[in-house]
A and B are shown apart, each in its own frame.
Chain A
Amino acid sequence: MEQNALKDTDVETLLNDLLELYGYDFTEYSKASIKRRVNRLYILDRFLSFAEFRYRIKADPDYLKRFVEQITVTVTEMFRDPPFYKSLRENVLPTLGTYPFIRIWHAGCSSGEEVYSMAVLLEEANLLHKSLLYATDINPEVLDKARKGIFSLAHMKQYSENYISSGGKKEFSQYYTANYDKVIFDDRFRKKMIFSTHNLVSDRSFNVFQLILCRNVLIYFDKDLQTRVFDLFEESLENLGFLALGSKETLRFSNIAARFKQTDKEKIWRKIA
């Protein structure tokens, strides 16, 4: 990608439009990241001027959808960071198993790979029958994909390797049915999932959970926004509940750190007060 076609002030103008017209607030996202995403889209979609770009976002609701999907990063995979999933199996699920009913929240679930991975873990721990997985994202397009449970066959080799390094002992392919270049995950998983849009910037707590996963979302937020989202998670977590972050994210410097304890070297914390 070539240099910046759009200036900082252009990006600010667009983000203000988005907030005023549609209530999407990206103004507290990491600046360099968001500027790069906006520039990338401007070049990818071959706009000739900033004015044209701005007009299209304001006037074309379909393009707005594309804009939101493209400036957020939705890259994900199943059993991403296998040691993390291994730690869930060994250190978190046994505790969750002691509850009569398990509620889990995947905040920023993207197209659902993380949620299906979790459902597989729960089934292998014999807990799926009493679990409910709430999976939310700002982005309705990725949620549509997640709801269908259809993924590309081409990725399955990598995912089943990840599954095995996470401590999986079964044949990963038994969890889905392949059809041409796609696979569909078994209905019994989807029956335990509830998908819904939820914006971590502006929406409130909607339930209390024993485990919240928010992985690779906070890296896109600036410090102040991270602080508010941590408060939201604390409010949405039962006492002794678990909070799991992405491998490069930390609670360490946050305002809620004192009331959480990291359980092992993976990015999993437990609410202790």
Chain B
Amino acid sequence: MAKNSLASPVDLVVIGGSAGSLDVILRMLPPLSHDLRFPVIIVLHRKSTFDSSLSDLFATRTSLTVKEAEEKEYLRPGVIYLAPADYHLLVEKNLTLSLDYSEKVNYSRPSIDVTFQTAADALEGNLAGILLSGANADGALGLKTIHSAGGITAAQNPGSAEMPYMPNQALALSVVDYILNIDEIAYFVNKLSDSKTKFHSE
């Protein structure tokens, strides 16, 4: 399944993580390029009590705008959107965001699968998905959807993950193009923003 070289850069990057992924994100943010050409959506499993302070915490680590996703807002390049606690976050074809308080998926709300799958559908494959540490199976099917839609997929190296279960689930489905160590994640995202980069699946 050789992936064709990318004529245009991706239009969206979605990142999902659960237990053990907060630190990974905090380490990924500072080296991120200041002029990313696409929006980034981060879906983290977290306790609802954590709430909006998480986007403030992230904002201290990057000069990119970090905000909690609001319903019906348009995705803008160079902005990092965080899924709010206790709502699923869906990407619409008109590149707006919808929130949805339906049943938990994989015991999770927000569910990484829901965001990954709707994003893959909305972007028709013109996106990249990254799955981080976690002790839950959420995200693996979503990564598979991105993969089948022609998107680029990556997972945190299970060896570097505090909870390897989640990336391992994706690897077991054979849908992961790139396996990344923690310090490689920001570099990978920056490269996606560079139109000259050509990505191939291994």
Q: Which residue of B has the minimal Cβ distance to A215?
A: B101
B residues near A246, Cβ cutoff 8 Å: 101
Q: How far is the CA of A37 from the CA of B101 in the complex (A)?
A: 12
B71–A249 touching, CB < 8 Å: yes
Residue B198, interface by CB 8 Å = no
B117–A248 touching, CB < 8 Å: no
Residue from the list A32, A73, A248 in contact with B122, Cβ < 8 A: A32
A250 to chain B, nearest CB (A): 8
Q: A216-B101, A219-B100 are in contact. Are A36 and B118 (CB under 8 A)?
A: yes
Contact with B along A17-52 (1 / 0, CB 8 A): 000000000000011110111000000000000000
The 19 sampled A-B contact pairs (Cβ below 8 Å) are: A1-B117, A2-B141, A3-B141, A3-B144, A30-B72, A31-B93, A32-B118, A32-B121, A33-B100, A36-B114, A75-B103, A216-B101, A219-B100, A220-B100, A223-B72, A226-B72, A248-B84, A248-B99, A249-B71
B53 to chain A, nearest CB (A): 15
Q: How far is the CA of A36 from the CA of B119 in the complex (A)?
A: 12
Majority secondary structure of chain A interface residues (helix, strand, loop or mixed): loop
Interface residues on A, range: 20 to 34
B92–A30 touching, CB < 8 Å: yes
Residue A4, interface by CB 8 Å = yes
Majority secondary structure of chain B interface residues (helix, strand, loop or mixed): mixed
Q: A1-B141, A248-B84 are in contact. Are A33 and B90 (CB under 8 A)?
A: yes
Q: How many residues of B contact A (CB 8 A)?
A: 26
Residue B187, interface by CB 8 Å = no
B residues near A223, Cβ cutoff 8 Å: 72
B residues near A3, Cβ cutoff 8 Å: 117, 141, 144-145, 148
Q: How far is the CA of A37 from the CA of B102 in the complex (A)?
A: 9
Total number of A-B contacts with CB less than 8 angstroms? 63
A37 to chain B, nearest CB (A): 7
- Where the two chains meet, the residues of A that have a C-beta atom closer than 8 Å to any C-beta of B are 1-4, 30-33, 35-37, 73, 75, 216, 219-220, 222-223, 226, 246, 248-250
A219–B145 touching, CB < 8 Å: no
B residues near A219, Cβ cutoff 8 Å: 71, 87, 98-101
A1–B91 touching, CB < 8 Å: no
A248–B121 touching, CB < 8 Å: no
Contact with A along B92-109 (1 / 0, CB 8 A): 110000111111010000
B105–A1 touching, CB < 8 Å: yes
A83 to chain B, nearest CB (A): 11
Task: Find the residue from B87, B93, B98, B118 having the highest chain A CB count within 10 A.
Answer: B98
